Amino acid sequence: MEIGNRLSGKVVVVTGASGIAAAGAMRFAGQGASVFVISRNESACLDLASMIQSKGGSAGWAAADLTNEEMTVEAFASCVRQLGRIDGVFAVAGGSGRRHGDGPIHEVPLEGWVQTLEINGHPAFLTARQATRSMMESERGGSIVLITSVLATSPVPGRFATHSYAAIKGAEIALTTSLASYYAPMGIRVNAIAPGLVDTQMARRAASDPEITAYAARKQPLAGGLLEAGEIADAGLFLLSDESRAITGQTIAVDGGWSVTEASE
């Protein structure tokens, strides 16, 4: 775990306990933050918090289904009880809707749309709501970082036609802009990160397909393939730190060149 002080004295909530979320939690703790992990997977929360503590960092956790309002409210309240306040949020929790039928919209059942919205949109909404409430109460301001997707603005129809997911991630970008505008006078900053294809559990289908990995190498030339979760965490570290105190309402693509690169099928 990298040791530094870019987040010294800050309390940062991370939603999710694997992939980008885990990379972020480790990175932030290594830079002096007290990290509070929220995920529905209790053992994953405990393992991640224990790993941070074993390396000398400060961490707490709560197991909660972030699509459930009551559980989300209680998890954020638990963070405040244990760590005193919330200064930053790295909102990663979400997932693919493919197993629920997400795909090209003419093939998507209503339930596929609803389930994809629930597992992605509900956590973003509830997390942002509870974070702003806590930051307003403390009157200290803070930084909220939502994780969206490059697919919201740079689609690849031949390989990643999950229209419900793309639409909901696009809604998160709109949410970022509107929240940033409203809460800026209160010192609360809201930004988003739009990752490209990242080597995480969610990308197992892509990572196991030689054609897609070869395509990723062309589409993400700066990465030469799939991005590493730590590269998204690095952007999160910047946006959560005081180094970005003048930045709000922005969506930063961390995509290895995806959004500006043509790649033949």
Q: Which residues are catalytic?
A: 165
What's 227's DSSP letter?
A: B
Here the tokens at position 209 are: 């397909």
Measure the CA–CA gap between 226 and 203, rounded to whole angstroms. Answer: 9
Q: Any residues with CB less than 8 A from the CB of 175 and at least 6 apart, and which?
A: 124, 125, 128, 146
- Is residue 254 within 8 Å of residue 193, measured between CB atoms? yes
Cβ contact 147:20 at 8 Å:
yes
Residues 6+ apart with CB under 8 A from 150: 194, 195, 196, 253, 255, 258, 259
Is 18 within 8 Å of 200 (Cβ atoms)?
Answer: yes
Q: Cα separation of 127 and 120, whole Å?
A: 11
Largest CA distance in the chain: 53
- E strands within the chain? 11-15, 34-39, 58-63, 88-91, 142-147, 188-195, 251-254
Q: In angstroms, rounded to a whole number, what is the distance separating the alpha carbons of residues 77 and 134?
A: 9
For residue 162 the two structure tokens come to 């999950």
Q: Any idea how long the chain is?
A: 265
CA distances from residue 38 to 2, 22, 143, 173, 235 in whole angstroms, order as listed: 22, 11, 17, 22, 20
